[in-house]
Amino acid sequence: MKTNKLQIVSVIILFIALIATLILYSALPEQIAVHWTKGIADKFTTRFLGAFSLIVVSIGIFILQVLLSRMNQAKKVFYNIFFFLIIVALSITQVLSLLWNTGYKLDISNIGGMVGGIIIGLIFLSVGIFLRNTKEKLHAGVHLGFWLASNKALDNYIVRKKTNNIAGIAFEILGTILILLSFFPKLQNVSFNIALWSTVAIVIFTYIYSSFVYRKEVNKDEKL
């Protein structure tokens, strides 16, 4: 996925959140809840501020996303992924908050776990996308010590390309699984353990895989 596609998706998400806000606005009470503790609303604000504050903040974050990605091309991938995740989190919070205030008594505790799981899943998914798109950028992606010990640039390039690709696929699969688990309240509690131990497994697997590919490329060169 190219970086600018994340900006397009950000615009679509903001547009959906804005349309949902406009549709639900007339059904909102004069005072709406903006904070919950253990599922109980304990902080309120006016209808206008409660409905549009997060939208304004999200638009400001999107503008910052575009400006920073253009000012610093070397870090534009990081900026776009980081700000994209914030926009997703705020937009989901916006819509769910408005639904609760219009009378849909959602279980905020479970929703909090769901939103958190989705965000964590998106982070892993974004890491995977980033790794798979750093194949030709030798300054980014996975770096392992035995690459640096070699003077063969071609070997390093091929190994890094394959390593980033396999690690990226693994993180994308993990991210997708975590997003799916977030929709099942009974499985939300195990998501953290899955994320933790899967990350450890991916790191170990990536190192072993990269070592294997590296030795294979070195042996191939020695036979020539």
- pLDDT-wise least confident of 120-129, 147-156, 163-172: 147-156
Digit-coded pLDDT (tens) for 203-213? 999 888 888 88
| Per-residue pLDDT band at 215 (split at 50, 70, 90) | confident
User: How distant, in Å, are the alpha carbons of 127, 197, 207 from that of 204?
Assistant: 17, 11, 5
* Interatomic CA distance for residues 95 and 51, integer angstroms: 9
Instruction: Look at residue 48 in the predicted model and tell me its pLDDT.
Output: 93
| Per-residue pLDDT band at 57 (split at 50, 70, 90) | very high
Average pLDDT over residues 118-144: 72
The answer to whether the beta carbons of residues 148 and 202 sit under 8 Å apart is no
Mean pLDDT of the chain: 80
| Per-residue pLDDT band at 97 (split at 50, 70, 90) | confident
Element holding 34 (H helix, E strand)? strand 31-37
Q: Per the structure block, which two tokens stand in for 200? A: 């450890």
Instruction: Look at residue 72 in the predicted model and tell me its pLDDT.
Output: 63
Determine what percent of the chain falls in helix, strand and coil, rounding each to the nearest 5: 80, 5, 15
Residue 1 has pLDDT above 90, yes or no: no
- pTM for this model (two decimals): 0.65
- pLDDT-wise least confident of 37-46, 102-111, 129-138, 197-206: 129-138
Average pLDDT over residues 118-133: 82
* Interatomic CA distance for residues 184 and 223, integer angstroms: 54
| Per-residue pLDDT band at 224 (split at 50, 70, 90) | low
Instruction: Look at residue 145 in the predicted model and tell me its pLDDT.
Output: 54
| Per-residue pLDDT band at 150 (split at 50, 70, 90) | low
Digit-coded pLDDT (tens) for 16-45? 999 999 999 999 999 998 877 766 788 889
Q: Per the structure block, which two tokens stand in for 134? A: 């750093």
